[in-house]
Amino acid sequence: MKQINIGLIGVGGMGTRHAHNLHQRVVGLTVAAVNDVDLERAQQVASDCGNARVFADPYALIADDHVEALLIASPDDTHAEYTLACLREGKPVLCEKPLATNAADAGRVVEAEMAVGRQLIAVGFMRRYDPQHIAVKQAVDSGIIGRPILFKGVHRNAEVPPRFSAGLIINGSAVHDIDSARWLLGQEVEIVYVRGVRTEMSLQEDVCDLALLQISLTNDTLATIEVYVTAGYGYEVRAEVVGERGTAVTMPPDHIALRVKSTRSHPVPADWLARFQDAYLAELNQWALALRGQPFRGASAWDGYLSLLAADACLKSLRSGKPEPASCPVIPELYRQ
Ligand code: ISE
């Protein structure tokens, strides 16, 4: 099989995991070029992947003739500009979530993709590839739980990185759950109401560690989402859809139950890399198929944009303490399935 040469921008924890998955576990894609602000780190990952080329300049990497598709896993505030550069080169890109740090920038990406006239962008909402989430989606779509009326999400991180800022709990973390609610219910966000709590674990004065989102979506549906980023004990994500005739909920993918000293316990993963490894792998494998012309079923730039329109409204509500409307534009032809 002819290999497709991938250029990888950003090799922190997430980008390094993608690099190793691509190199060791995905057929048909080769890590050909690597960029990172930390050149030593880029060099290390490049040699892990069989001597990929290292670029100091991400734009030179994107424009390089040998690079056929891009994977962007650099810091969130670089996503929109790098994705726009990929579009200028007419190259497909898998961009880590969020597509941008605000809806205005994500909107510019959508407009640029519409000007190209074909979908080149995939957004890395990995839960859409997670077997537990897919099983919930299939149950909802089968009609077995009746009309879906409520999404209930729980999203807990053990701890936050030191650079965690006030907006990150929404556009870095809750944006996943917003996407899950839209995807699993098949509805769009209309009104949001968000309250936050600052715990003793909070690193900065203006940063909430726990946010509770109440959301009204189209077609008379609702969502409640807890995002708690300093939960301490581990990493946990739960998604439930309540319907008129039943509910479907993800079960933790535990591999064992431990019974010792009169106690039965289940392990909790430490972080998202441990919890969602199967999903990251499935994401890359489906992207590989899409790059060879198969239909693509993951999140599009439009999904990236709408999740940020809702996230912007959530941040506004967190700050105002009041319900806020989220704008919900009509879906352009390019993004209709
Ligand atoms: C992180 O960037 C992720 O994408 C994780 O999945 C999420 O759980 C975490 O809150 C984010 O900071």
pLDDT tens per residue across span 13-67: 999 999 999 999 999 999 999 999 999 999 999 999 998 999 999 999 999 999 9
Which residues in the chain land under pLDDT 50? none
- What distance in angstroms lies between residue 103's CA and the mean position of ligand 1's atoms? 18
| 272 Cβ closer than 6 Å to some ligand 1 atom | yes
| 173 Cβ closer than 6 Å to some ligand 1 atom | yes
Give long-range contacts, CB 8 A cutoff, 24+ apart: 263-269: 268/233, 268/234, 268/235, 268/236, 269/234, 269/235, 269/236
What local confidence, expressed as pLDDT, does residue 203 receive?
A: 66
> Closest ligand 1 atom, CA of 237?
8
Token duo for residue 310: 């809702």
- What is the identity of the amino acid at 88? R
pTM of the complete model beyond 0.95? yes
Crossing angle of the two packed helices 175-185 and 131-142, in degrees rounded to 10: 30
Output the CA torsion sign for 169, 175, 180, 185.
positive
Exposure string for 51-89, b = 16+ CB within 10 A, e = fewer: ebbbbeebeebbbbeebbbbbbbbebebbbbbbbbbbeb
> Closest ligand 1 atom, CA of 161?
12
| 107 Cβ closer than 6 Å to some ligand 1 atom | no
- What distance in angstroms lies between residue 172's CA and the mean position of ligand 1's atoms? 6
Ligand 1 pocket test: pick from 14, 130, 157, 169 the residue with the most ligand atoms within 8 Å of its Cβ. 157
| 125 Cβ closer than 6 Å to some ligand 1 atom | no
What local confidence, expressed as pLDDT, does residue 199 receive?
A: 85
